[in-house]
Amino acid sequence: MPEDGSDSLKEYRLRKVLQAIAGKRGRGTELISLYIPSGRQISEAMSALREEYGKASNIKSRTTRKNVQDAISKVQQRLKLIERTPENGVVIFCGAIPRGPPGSEVIETYVVTPPKPITISYYSCDDKFYVEPLMEMIREKQTIGIIVIDNTEATLAVVTGKSVDIKGDVTSGVGGKTRKGGQSARRYERIREMELNDYYKRVASHADDVFLQEKGLTGIILAGPGQTKEQFRDGNYLNYQLQSKIIATVDTAYTGNQGVKEAMEKASEKLQDLAIMKEKKLVQDFLKEIGTDSGLAIYGERDVREALKRGNAKTVLISEAVDVYPVKITCKSCGYAEDRSLSEQELFTLEYTISNQSCPKCNANALAIEEQKSLIDEFNELANDTGAKLEVISDKTEEGLMLYKSFGGVVAILRHA
Ligand SMILES: [Zn+2]
């Protein structure tokens, strides 16, 4: 899988691959899923596979036995190419997938680098691949920091999807609003302010310790009852790197762990909104150019490809719903060539289909797939070559749907008209 491209593209690619893998079925119990977490040695996984290979010799069906053992060998071959377990671990799916009638199976292998560290060590041989842990990762990809604060205590937490990691409390030691007898009101107020200032600084320092080392922190939510969180925010106590990550300030009824839970519920809405807002904005920018007739907005596969090739595309938006795979088919015998635009499903069976077709020019049974690529991958390569930005847009919003239905799902904003 290519690693370059915008975040929306990376996420889209992984989701797409996993969906495709999840949909595959073996003819028998013969599809292998192997999860190797970062801490596990490749050699350990290898010896476990040798054992599985031995066990497979007991499988009664000759075809299934052969398919399972072939798949295990393929996985072993792939593992030999990996010297050391990658930082996030590695997942391999491998098995014989039918393309048509019995006997049409082709062994397919997928090596997936997880976007976050996997923690399970897992092997299965089933009639389908086990993709759930990776799917879960995409769903829960955002990591956010939460600070629930009022003037008596602050609780810090790191939240990833549904898992909450409480990172300790800081107490203020600041007295209540009523002053002791004998103190002047002004003096009392000054002491209280100094104590609060000191407390905010301690909270900020703890936040530095906890959040700065969190790789991939998407944002920080400030929460709590009353005005303390706003004072803390407006006083710029946080490290500037963290301060710039504050994405929301939300009211909660409680502090402590209960407050974190409350903040989390509100935060998940905010984060979803944030992703949707970004998408909407991208489409709206395009619609604005269309509306003002600036000549800077174009749409349609052919025009966008042309603009990319000329280096004139600034931003390219492609709808997730676009299901186009340009394919080049050639005849090995006479050199005949044709371009086809296929759907994903058609592409899947193409190898099998053309093996039963003869060349329209020389009639030989020698057609082969010369080149295949998804439209998104093709456009992303062109975009990378010319410094254009490519974003994948879902069809979950009104704007996203409009992008697909009214503009065919492929549009661009140009650098100059
Ligand atoms: Zn031919």
Q: 349 C-alpha to center of ligand 1: Å?
A: 21
Q: 43 C-alpha to center of ligand 1: Å?
A: 48
Q: 369 C-alpha to center of ligand 1: Å?
A: 13
The answer to which of 10-24, 98-112, 179-193, 299-313 has the lowest mean pLDDT is 179-193
Report d(CA 134, CA 316) in Å as an integer.
Answer: 28
Higher pLDDT, 248 or 209: 209
Any idea what the CATH number is for the domain that residue 75 is in? Answer: 3.30.960.10
| pLDDT for the residue numbered 283 | 94
User: What range defines the domain where residue 364 resides?
Assistant: 297-414
Q: 365 C-alpha to center of ligand 1: Å?
A: 8
DSSP 8-state code for residue 74? H
Q: 331 C-alpha to center of ligand 1: Å?
A: 5
The answer to which of 52-66, 131-145, 230-244 has the lowest mean pLDDT is 131-145
Question: Is there a single domain that holds both residue 153 and residue 55?
Answer: no
Q: 342 C-alpha to center of ligand 1: Å?
A: 21
| pLDDT for the residue numbered 254 | 94
Q: 362 C-alpha to center of ligand 1: Å?
A: 4
Q: Given a cut of 90, is residue 323 above it in pLDDT?
A: no
Evaluate if pTM is beyond 0.75.
no
Rounded mean pLDDT of 6-26? 83
Q: How far is CA 316 from CA 295, 341, 390, in A?
A: 15, 20, 5
Report d(CA 128, CA 371) in Å as an integer.
Answer: 28
Rounded mean pLDDT of 231-235? 95
Question: Is there a single domain that holds both residue 266 and residue 331?
Answer: no
Question: Is there a single domain that holds both residue 236 and residue 316?
Answer: no
Q: 205 C-alpha to center of ligand 1: Å?
A: 72
Residue 291 resides in a domain: no
C-alpha triplet 317, 296, 319: angle, nearest 5°? 15
Please identify which residue in the block is written with the tokens 């088919």: 329
Query: 94: closest CA among 62, 130, 56?
Result: 130
Q: 89 C-alpha to center of ligand 1: Å?
A: 46
Question: Is there a single domain that holds both residue 151 and residue 263?
Answer: yes
Question: Is there a single domain that holds both residue 11 and residue 132?
Answer: yes
Residue 357 resides in a domain: yes
Q: pLDDT tens digits, residue range 50-78?
A: 999 999 999 999 999 999 999 999 999 99
Q: pLDDT tens digits, residue range 204-230?
A: 999 999 999 887 788 899 999 999 999
Any idea what the CATH number is for the domain that residue 205 is in? Answer: 3.30.420.60
| pLDDT for the residue numbered 1 | 43
Residue 151 resides in a domain: yes
Q: 353 C-alpha to center of ligand 1: Å?
A: 16
The domain tally of the chain equals 3
Q: Given a cut of 80, is residue 382 above it in pLDDT?
A: yes
Q: pLDDT tens digits, residue range 75-115?
A: 999 999 988 899 889 999 999 999 878 888 889 999 998 88
